[in-house]
């Protein structure tokens, strides 16, 4: 069931290759994204069939938790991952103009990171994928090439930078208290080791940091 990694890895790889492919063959480039997303949906279906809908975790890179990248795959995570791939297919930007390669690459980056968010089983990689979502969002907001979009992008850059620092501070505090960032381990350790002022500070820092990117009030002033 390790092929579930491809659901994140292939869109990420395609995001960087797509501009080159479009220069060589425009028609092929236009359909590269939908093909990758369609393959992602098929892969998710295969993994679901192999696992029988049972929950499983997958350590990536040869390091078992709490080290390394860890995917935690349950029915809800599979549902969200499939929804991301399907929405990408339904709203794929086929419009051809000078911004098409950048727009489609950023779309693939956004979808790869969003799928990674759904499947990630550790706090640090949730942070990494969330930052990738932010990077893709910067570009997609600015791609509309309007004054309001540029102003919103600038505000988002400023607030997102602050949010990223706060989130990283919160994650660091959690690691200093528990010695792990694995979500399954944290669920067991949190009642004892995070039930203190440092644990509360970590929660508040992460809530504010994530709130900027999720447009949560009152840190949504960047939204046009």
Q: Which residues of 180-204 are buried (b: 16+ CB within 10 A; e: fewer)?
A: bbbbebbeebeeebbeeeebeebee
Does residue 149 share a domain with residue 193?
A: yes
**Pick from 87, 104, 85: which is nearest to 96 by CA?**
104
pLDDT at 38: 94
Residue at a domain's end among 121, 146, 168 = 121
Does residue 25 share a domain with residue 111?
A: yes
Q: What are the Cα distances from residue 19, in Å, to 98, 105, 108, 147?
A: 11, 7, 12, 26
Give the chain's mean pLDDT. Answer: 84
Pull the structure tokens for residue 155.
């505000």
pTM assigned to the model: 0.85
Does residue 103 share a domain with residue 16?
A: yes
Residue 197: domain span? 123-224
Does residue 137 share a domain with residue 224?
A: yes
pLDDT at 68: 66
pLDDT at 156: 74
Contact assessment for residue 171 and residue 130, using Cβ atoms and an 8 Å cutoff: no
Q: pLDDT confidence of 219, banded at 50, 70, 90?
A: low
Q: Which has the higher per-residue pLDDT, 222 or 73?
A: 73
Alpha-carbon gap, residue 210 to 54, rounded angstroms? 30
Does residue 94 share a domain with residue 2?
A: yes
pLDDT(89) > 70: yes
Does residue 128 share a domain with residue 65?
A: no
pLDDT at 108: 94
Residue at a domain's end among 104, 121, 138 = 121
Does residue 102 share a domain with residue 66?
A: yes
pLDDT(144) > 80: no
Does residue 6 share a domain with residue 64?
A: yes
Q: What are the Cα distances from residue 128, in Å, to 28, 33, 101, 122, 194?
A: 30, 22, 24, 10, 22
The whole-angstrom distance between residue 195's C-alpha and the CA centroid of its chain comes to 28
Does residue 218 share a domain with residue 109?
A: no
Does residue 32 share a domain with residue 87?
A: yes
pLDDT(67) > 70: no
| Residue 69 host element (H or E) | strand 69-73
Pull the structure tokens for residue 4.
């579930």
Q: pLDDT confidence of 113, banded at 50, 70, 90?
A: very high
User: What is the largest distance, in Å, between two alpha-carbon atoms of the chain?
Assistant: 58
pLDDT, tens digit (0-9, with 9 covering 90-100), for 158-183: 877 888 899 999 999 999 888 888 88
Does residue 135 share a domain with residue 100?
A: no
Pull the structure tokens for residue 94.
């086929």
Q: pLDDT confidence of 64, banded at 50, 70, 90?
A: low
pLDDT at 209: 85
pLDDT(105) > 80: yes
Does residue 62 share a domain with residue 166?
A: no
Alpha-carbon gap, residue 15 to 111, rounded angstroms? 10
Alpha-carbon gap, residue 54 to 149, rounded angstroms? 43
**Pick from 65, 54, 145: which is nearest to 98 by CA?**
145
The whole-angstrom distance between residue 78's C-alpha and the CA centroid of its chain comes to 14
Total Cβ atoms within 10 A of residue 135: 14
Q: How many domains does the chain have?
A: 2
> Alpha helices, DSSP H only, in the chain?
6-24, 26-51, 75-90, 100-119, 123-142, 147-178, 183-193, 197-213
Highest mean pLDDT among 3-7, 79-83, 93-97, 124-128: 79-83
Q: What percent of the chain has pLDDT over 70?
A: 87
pLDDT(61) > 70: no
pLDDT(84) > 90: yes
Tell me the mean pLDDT in the region 19-42: 87
Residue at a domain's end among 106, 121, 136 = 121
Q: pLDDT confidence of 65, banded at 50, 70, 90?
A: low
Q: pLDDT confidence of 3, banded at 50, 70, 90?
A: confident
């Amino acid at each position: 069931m390790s092929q579930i990694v491809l659901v994140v890895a292939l869109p990420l790889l395609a995001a960087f290759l797509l501009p080159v492919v479009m220069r060589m063959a425009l028609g092929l480039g236009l359909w590269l994204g939908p093909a990758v997303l369609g393959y992602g949906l098929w892969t998710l279906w295969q993994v679901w069939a192999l696992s029988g809908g049972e929950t499983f975790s997958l350590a990536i890179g040869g390091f078992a938790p709490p080290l390394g990248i860890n995917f935690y795959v349950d029915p809800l995570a599979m549902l969200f991952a499939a929804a991301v791939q399907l929405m990408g297919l339904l709203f794929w930007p086929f419009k051809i103009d000078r911004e098409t390669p950048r727009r489609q690459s950023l779309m693939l980056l956004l979808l790869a990171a969003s799928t990674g968010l759904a499947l990630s089983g550790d706090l640090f990689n949730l942070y990494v994928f969330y930052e990738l979502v932010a990077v893709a969002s910067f570009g997609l907001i600015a791609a509309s090439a309007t004054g309001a979009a540029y102003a919103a992008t600038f505000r988002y850059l400023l607030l997102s930078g602050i949010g990223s620092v706060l989130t990283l501070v919160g994650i660091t505090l959690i690691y200093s208290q528990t010695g792990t960032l694995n979500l399954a381990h944290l669920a067991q350790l949190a009642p004892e080791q995070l039930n203190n002022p440092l644990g509360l500070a970590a929660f508040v820092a992460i809530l504010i940091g994530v709130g900027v990117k999720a447009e949560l009030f009152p840190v949504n002033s960047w939204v046009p």
